[in-house]
């Protein structure tokens, strides 16, 4: 979310609500990276770590904020009945629906900026999900979403070679389709893609395949086929070719 600068807009929207204005809670009060609004006990972490002398450290939910990361009074600030904690716990898909229904331009802008995340199959992530908990595939897709969020002039300014290492990890079939559409958007803008993948739908969609084998690990590493997916299906004899034919 920080990648897409959406959090800045959400903080601004909350600080524009009447209760925040009366109390002088500016946008920074809704950040857990700064003093002011965050819980002073856990410094916005939501958890406290207790060092244990002879054992590994114990992490516990912060007693003061109950894991909500903000001071109680900050949680009284609501935009359409949702406070910052409620919003950060929404999935990206739900958040888009929520902000789209808002009448303010600022709310609609937030919904629009979140859309690229759904386009790369990340709609299930929570808005406030920490980037340290993301899988490798998810991190790659977030960077792709950031790129897709740039204006079309900026997206086409220079031609880029993108390299993805198993970007579909953890994706469901339906979301793989979305990711392939996002890849098409990159290609349409004139960029190039190198994708390391096992996923058959991704393999089938490539313009050119380089199949490494014949087996995995130390029994692989040789180029066993290079060509189009159609060629591979017609005349390939590698494991990948057999798999695609099925």
Q: Shortest Cβ distance from residue 33 to Zn ion (Å)?
A: 14
Candidate residues 6, 13, 14, 39; the one interacting with Zn ion per rule CB under 5 A: 39
Q: Shortest Cβ distance from residue 47 to Zn ion (Å)?
A: 8
Q: Please give the C-alpha separations between residue 192 and each of 5, 35, 225, 240, in angstroms, as whole numbers.
A: 26, 44, 21, 23
124: left (phi over 0), alpha (psi -120 to 50) or beta: alpha
The verdict on 13 binding Zn ion (CB under 5 A) reads: no
Candidate residues 20, 65, 92, 125; the one interacting with Zn ion per rule CB under 5 A: 65
* Number of CB atoms found within 10 A of residue 234's CB: 11
Q: Shortest Cβ distance from residue 157 to Zn ion (Å)?
A: 43
Q: Shortest Cβ distance from residue 206 to Zn ion (Å)?
A: 48
| Site residues (CB under 5 A) for Zn ion, limited to 71-100 | none
The verdict on 64 binding Zn ion (CB under 5 A) reads: yes
Candidate residues 62, 88, 117, 244; the one interacting with Zn ion per rule CB under 5 A: 62
With CB under 5 A as the contact rule, which of the stretches 10-18, 62-70, 201-209, 213-221 interacts with Zn ion? 62-70
| Site residues (CB under 5 A) for Zn ion, limited to 176-215 | none
With CB under 5 A as the contact rule, which of the stretches 64-72, 74-82, 143-151, 182-190 interacts with Zn ion? 64-72
* Sequence-ordered alpha helix ranges (H) in 70-172: 72-75, 84-88, 92-100, 105-119, 136-149, 152-156
The residue among 20, 65, 6, 10 whose CA lies nearest residue 38 is 65
- CA contacts within 13 A on the Cβ side of 163: 0
Tokens, residue 229: 């997916």
- Contacts with Zn ion by CB under 5 A lie at 39, 41-42, 62, 64-65
């Amino acid at each position: 979310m920080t990648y897409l600068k959406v959090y800045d807009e959400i903080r601004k929207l909350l600080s524009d609500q009447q209760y925040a204005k009366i109390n002088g809670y500016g946008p920074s009060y809704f950040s857990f990276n700064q003093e002011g609004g965050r819980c002073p006990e856990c410094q916005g972490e939501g958890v406290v770590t207790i060092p244990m002398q002879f054992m590994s450290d114990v992490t516990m939910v912060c007693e003061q904020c109950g894991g909500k990361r903000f001071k109680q009074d900050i949680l009284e600030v609501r935009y359409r009945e949702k406070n910052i904690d409620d919003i950060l716990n929404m999935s990206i898909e739900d958040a888009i629906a929520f902000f789209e229904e808002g009448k303010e331009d600022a709310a609609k802008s937030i919904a629009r900026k979140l859309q690229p995340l759904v386009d790369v199959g990340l709609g299930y992530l929570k808005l406030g999900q920490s980037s340290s908990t993301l899988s490798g595939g998810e991190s790659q897709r977030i960077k792709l979403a950031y790129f897709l969020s740039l204006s079309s002039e900026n997206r086409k300014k220079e031609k880029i070679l993108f390299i993805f290492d198993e970007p579909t990890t953890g994706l469901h079939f339906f979301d793989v389709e979305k990711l392939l559409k996002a890849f098409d958007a990159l290609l349409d803008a004139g960029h190039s893609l190198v994708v390391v993948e096992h996923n058959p739908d991704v393999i089938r969609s490539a313009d050119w395949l380089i199949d490494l084998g014949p087996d995995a690990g130390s029994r692989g590493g040789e180029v066993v086929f290079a060509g189009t997916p159609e060629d591979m299906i017609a005349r390939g004899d590698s494991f990948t070719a057999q798999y695609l034919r099925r």
